[in-house]
Amino acid sequence: MFKRLNTDTLNWILIIGVILFVIELAFFHGGMIASALFSGILIYVGWKKFNRLWGKIVFWLGVVGAVFAVLNMLAVRFLIIAAIVLFIINYSKSKKEAEFIKPTLSIDQEVIIDPVVQVKPLFDHKIFDDQKTEDTAYQWRDVNIHGAFGDRVIDLSNTVLPNDTAVISIRHLVGNIEIYVPYEVEVSIHHSSIFGRAHILGEQNWKLMNQSLFYQTEKYDSALPRVKIITSLLSGDIEVKRI
């Protein structure tokens, strides 16, 4: 979207945002700014003591307070409205400027249609509820899912992986992910999380805060079978271990 904007438009948006920020600071005694700073302190204290119950409560109170404080700032409201208006304008322009390319075939040219087969995925997309692989043997299919709340458990010991690279891609909001990998399978894990912990093949990361982790076994690039795991969480733990 921003590639379509000229520099003057972006400059005016930033200037108006700064002016609104100064107005709020000068004439409204910085009420929302003070609330955001106080919420930031709660988040910091809660994260430091996140292993205790009161720390978790303080942390999430700070997160909720910070979100409401930021959204109630005049400058932030203006930037949100400006972004929505610019998105609508640019989307409308892109639809009008879209280039349609229609291939033409000669009379003698033969049309080849590739046959396709619909395969039932291993998991369906679910907003709520937990999901896990079957306890009995099952046929492997690459996993590519997203969800909101609940746990995801994938046990690779009950299936036969292809003699190639199997892929597990999970994008989730709140919940835990557990993946069990047989010893003879090479593994690559790329995990990103806003809040949570990670236990990956013996490596422990007790406090993840807006971080990405990348691990792979020593022979991943040269040996088969192997599995590539890509996960992202807003809040939750991930555990990848041998079985």
pLDDT digits (tens, 9 = 90+) for 142-155: 999 988 888 899 99
Residue 6: is its pLDDT beyond 90?
no
Residue 64: is its pLDDT beyond 80?
yes
Residue 157 carries which DSSP code? G
30: left (phi over 0), alpha (psi -120 to 50) or beta: left
**Residue 218 and residue 233 in contact, taking contact as beta carbons nearer than 8 Å:** no
User: Quick count: other Cβ atoms within 10 Å of Cβ 156?
Assistant: 20
| Chain centre to alpha carbon of residue 57 | 24
Residue 166: is its pLDDT beyond 90?
yes
Residue 185 carries which DSSP code? S
CA distance 103 to 231: 39
Cα torsion 73, 79, 83, 85: sign: positive
Mean pLDDT of all residues in 71-76: 77
Entry pTM:
0.56
The ranges assigned to domains in the chain are 2-97, 131-242
Tokens found for residue 28? 């409204």
